[in-house]
Amino acid sequence: MSHRSFLMGLLFLFLSFGSALPAVGMETVPLSSLGEAPGVTREDLLHLLSQETGGELLMGELLLTYMEQEELQKLVRQLTDTLLLERAARISGLDLREDLRLRMRWNQANLLARAYVEKLEERWDLSEERLQEYYELHEDRYIQEKELCLVAFFYATEEEARSALMGSLGTDPLESLGFSKFTRQVPLGWMAASHAPPEYEKAFSSPDSKTALGPFETPRGEYVLLFVENRLDPRKLSFEEAREKVLRDLETDLLEEELRELRRRFNVKVHDRAIQGLQPYEF
């Protein structure tokens, strides 16, 4: 059976046999070889199996402990074949191919960057007291803005658009426009006031919770009516409501402090002239 087939029993096994599991960090045990070079090790299996269950090494230990021999041998052979193909690729020079070289470079960079940030998080103060303090220092960041839900209705002529607008007066605008002679309907979703284009400013100042605005002429010669639904007046979020954003903001600020020090330490420079001199590829 596949190693996935006994995942459902892991909770029971964890409770029943967890104390009898082998200790993590045992001596490296080679399970295959490529000539004189080591191939797959026990630690490789623990790592890969733990990734299947959320990155917990203990879960990798559980999977490894209760895998059948035939299944375990098959997995080792498959992983050894992967290492074999990697060696053949390097011998044939594929690791020097430009597209693969860049992918490997940035895959490694991203992996190590994430690991370094995780190491930083171990010494950052992210306690509830620190989050509350950060929230109180930056209360202006945690304001729930007024939002609009926008739906655009397109019409072939201005006359049709104005007729639809007049028909929506005194009714549910969305329902009324839905029965009008529009050529297409485009839901634009919810939009915060600070992100809205200037032409929608009137919509935010409308006292009605639901209204239709327009018609607006598009560059393509169409005419648009906007159905607008207001949601929420601006208000300050409580700490509980804003907690996840407070945590992300504090982590971002702490990381930026670290980056400033690293930029100074490694004398980082961004070459603006070289960037400005970049030319788009001419097809």
Residue ranges per structural domain of the chain: 3-94, 124-141+237-277, 143-235
The predicted structure's pLDDT at residue 126: 95
Q: Does pLDDT of 174 surpass 50?
A: yes
Rounded to 5°, the CA angle 99-100-105 comes to 100
Q: Taking the complete model, does pTM exceed 0.75, yes or no?
A: no
Compute CA distances 258 → 124, 146, 173, 267, whole Å: 11, 35, 52, 14
Q: Does pLDDT of 128 surpass 80?
A: yes
- The pLDDT mean for the chain works out to 82
> Higher-confidence residue: 9 or 178?
178
The stretch 186-190 carries a mean pLDDT of 82
Percent of the chain with pLDDT over 90: 40
The predicted structure's pLDDT at residue 56: 77
The predicted structure's pLDDT at residue 270: 83
Report pLDDT digits (tens) over 36-95: 888 998 888 888 888 887 777 888 888 888 888 898 899 999 999 999 999 999 999 998
Q: How many CB atoms lie within 10 A of CB 181?
A: 12
Rounded to whole angstroms, how far apart are CA atoms 210 and 231? 10
The stretch 214-224 carries a mean pLDDT of 88
pLDDT grade, residue 209 (50/70/90)?
low
First to last CA, the chain: 53
Residues 6+ apart with CB under 8 A from 186: 151, 152, 154
Q: Does pLDDT of 9 surpass 70?
A: no
Q: Does pLDDT of 13 surpass 50?
A: no
Task: Find how far residue 69's CA is from the centre of its chain.
Answer: 38
pLDDT grade, residue 223 (50/70/90)?
very high
> Higher-confidence residue: 219 or 256?
256
The predicted structure's pLDDT at residue 25: 44
The predicted structure's pLDDT at residue 7: 41
CATH of region 143-235, choose from 3.30.70, 3.10.50, 3.40.50, 3.40.1010: 3.10.50
The stretch 228-236 carries a mean pLDDT of 73
